[in-house]
A and B are shown apart, each in its own frame.
Chain A
Amino acid sequence: MLQTGPAKKLVVYVNETARYEGRPVHEVLLHWLQEHGVAGATVTKALAGYGAHGTLHVSRPFRIREDVPIRIEVVESAERINHILPFVYDMVPQGLIEVQDTEVVKHSPQPEPASEAERERERIKLEGRAKMLRVYIDEDDMWEGAPLYEAILKTLRMMDVAGATVYRGVLGYGARNRLHKSGFLGLSHNLPIMITVVDSAEKVRRAISVLDEMVGAGLIVLSDVEVIKYTHAATTREGES
């Protein structure tokens, strides 16, 4: 399965009229990639271009068979790309094949039963020694036009941190040495905000390097914790059925 982090992008440029065993190359390639469990592939048609032959190909309306470049794009792990490359090479008679380094930021396929085992492994991995991260900021702190605590929460989620909770204090003073106090009918503002995170030391350290940049005035503390239990909704429901 495709994981977030470093990956490879494979791009193939062929002409729409190019054939492999009598069928359009891009069709053959797409089916082959699907059959071989490649995470995903996209075929796009160019408006115009020139390439191996040096001839300019332009898309013209109302023509059924167009002589334009087709681009097939695949993102997979370096290992998978290396495995499929010889086959792709063979299927593309004329054109261009390139491989580039890329980084997968988000990959959220449909949940499948197989991923249950993975979550279970993750759960077991988290139990035992772990770290608790606490971030203290102000409610009015902003980041890119949104409340900083919301931005931090989104960032942590993107980093696939096990969980985070945001609390609003009722009173406090801190980095800016101003006293924050909640007022009548909850109309006060700029109260202290605390965000707590529990995850493995490695995940928490990675989160710190990102949060360090986001937290201008505030406090970030780290402490040791022992995880006794960490359960997902999916795992328990599986057990009940």
Chain B
Amino acid sequence: MTEAVKILRVYVGEDDRWEGVPLYEAIVLRLRELGIAGASVFRGIAGFGANQRVAESVPFGLSHDMPMMIAAVDTEEKIRRALPLLDEMVDEGLVVLSDASVWGAAGR
């Protein structure tokens, strides 16, 4: 049984802050508060974007402001509920939505 869902992807910088905590962390916490089924954070190893800076990782975790991507999957209705919040939180970055199908999900 498949279900049409949306994938939300938010691209921010690792050093972006929101009320004293990393922005990516704040976004995940707010998505959880909104009851979004799940969210994962990915750290890029290089990239460029809205700020036009090229970030490149150096060994031993000393690099900074790497691109961070937060991905969340849920129904369109629930994902759209998170958009005004993201609009407020993301000062510099990218928010995109795409279609996906879920083939059953445990714990829903």
Contacts and interface: CB of A to CB of B under 8 A. Distances in A.
Contacts of A163: 11, 47-50, 94
B47 A164 contact: yes
Given A165-B67, A167-B42, A153 B95 contact: no
B28 interface: no
A132 B98 contact: yes
- Size band of the interface chain B makes with A: 20 to 34
B92 A233 contact: yes
A168 B48 CA distance: 16
Contact of B92 (A132, A167, A228, A231): A231
B49 A165 contact: yes
B3 interface: no
A160 B9 CA distance: 21
Contacts, number: 93
Contacts of A229: 86-87, 90, 93-95
B34 interface: no
Interface in A140-186: 149-150, 153, 156-157, 162-168
A230 B94 contact: yes
Contact of B96 (A130, A164, A167): A130
B15 interface: no
Contacts of A167: 42-45, 69
A162 B93 CA distance: 10
B98 A223 contact: yes
- Size band of the interface chain A makes with B: 20 to 34
A225 B94 CA distance: 12
Nearest to A130: B96
Given A228-B86, A229-B94, 20 more contacts: A130-B96, A156-B48, A165-B44, A166-B45, A167-B44, A167-B69, A193-B45, A223-B98, A224-B99, A225-B9, A228-B95, A229-B86, A229-B90, A229-B93, A229-B95, A231-B91, A231-B92, A231-B93, A232-B50, A232-B52
Interface string A84-106: 00000000000000000000000
Contact of A225 (B48, B83, B98): B98
Contact of A226 (B52, B54, B96): B96
A130 B100 CA distance: 16
A72 interface: no
A14 interface: no
A230 B46 contact: no
A198 interface: yes
24 contacts: A132-B96, A149-B46, A153-B54, A162-B49, A163-B47, A163-B49, A163-B94, A164-B49, A165-B49, A166-B47, A167-B45, A167-B69, A198-B94, A223-B98, A227-B96, A228-B95, A228-B96, A229-B94, A230-B50, A230-B94, A232-B50, A233-B91, A233-B92, A236-B92
